[in-house]
Amino acid sequence: MDNRVDIDGLPFLKMHGAGNDFVVIDQRGRHAHVTAALARAVGDRHRGVGFDQLVTIDNDSGADARLIFWNADGSQAGACGNATRCVARLLMDETGKTRLTLRTERGLLIAVEAGDGLISVNMGQPQLNWAEVPLAQAADTLHLPMPGDPAAVGMGNPHCIFFVADAGAVDLAGRGPGLEHDPLFPARTNVEFASVTGPDRLRMRVWERGAGITLACGSGTCATAVAAARRGLTGRHVTVDVDGGTLAVDWREDGVWLTGPTATVFAGSLSPAIMALA
């Protein structure tokens, strides 16, 4: 019996940054483009490939590349720090550059080789005004009018951060969905629970908007570090332990820098059958 399958379709890479996993599709020079329907099909971990986010790479006349991020539910994510770092690694390996400019909905982001296999990306200045996050009404973003006294930070996408005694004990599956859709967040929100575990060290877990529980979230790590520093819980340079590993955040004058590892897991090709679902 011939068990070979025709996989002549759209090539992709599976990558992850601290367990935050991505499907990466290079659309440069290709006619096939990702749609919401295709993102949902590929994001299905049983019938597709599965991912926390899907990221596409396109040419850009004013940057090394343009990136678009998709959630597993077919919605777009305005920012994704770990996916940006993963693509930066690919493009650095491709071009030999150690510094890149990447265009995202968040704006132009700078990524640099940080040594020891690490990649850093400047995620830009945090959005601390209620309208920028955005919130549905005027509120103090450092102390939201919600049970649990969370903070809000925008990093190109909205984040709601709770500081708790033990982040590991939080029922993410039970609390995440309701908080994601809280009326205070008109565009929905990512939800982080964090504990201070040492000098300038945090333990964080995350429920991502449009993706659910993930092992890490780059923009969420940045938002949590900013909120912790604003509350005086830590300094502006912190180490953050997430379910999938460890990331570092440095809130500098020029923006919030995220540093961590990246890994390529495998290469594949989306079959014509799954492409037809788009």
Q: Say what percent of the chain tops pLDDT 90.
A: 91
CATH number of 151-253: 3.10.310.10
Q: Is 125 exposed, middle or buried (0-12, 13-18, 19+ CB in 10 A)?
A: middle
Residues 72 and 132: their CA atoms lie apart, in Å, by 25
pLDDT of residue 6: 41
Residue 233 has pLDDT above 80, yes or no: yes
The residue among 256 and 1 whose pLDDT is bigger is 256
Q: Is 165 exposed, middle or buried (0-12, 13-18, 19+ CB in 10 A)?
A: exposed
Give residue-wise pLDDT tens across range 172-182: 999 999 999 99
Residue 4 has pLDDT above 50, yes or no: no
Give residue-wise pLDDT tens across range 215-229: 999 999 999 999 999
CB under 8 Å to 108, separation ≥6 — which residues?
62, 63, 101, 102
Lowest mean pLDDT among 5-14, 29-38, 139-148, 153-162: 5-14
DSSP for 245-264, please give it: EEEEEEEETTEEEEEEE-EE
CB under 8 Å to 126, separation ≥6 — which residues?
153, 154, 155, 222, 223, 226, 251, 256
Q: What is the mean pLDDT of the chain?
A: 95
Terminal Cα-to-Cα distance of the chain (whole angstroms)? 31
Within the chain, which residue ranges are assigned CATH 3.10.310.10?
10-123+262-275, 151-253
Residues 60 and 229: their CA atoms lie apart, in Å, by 35
Lowest mean pLDDT among 24-33, 42-51, 191-200, 239-248: 24-33
Query: Token pair of 184, please?
Result: 């205070």
Domain 10-123+262-275 has CATH 3.10.310.10: yes
Query: Which whole number is the average pLDDT over 71-84?
Result: 94
pLDDT of residue 275: 86
- 13 band by pLDDT with thresholds 50, 70 and 90: very high
- Among all residues, which ones are annotated catalytic? 80, 217
What 8-state DSSP symbol labels residue 199? T
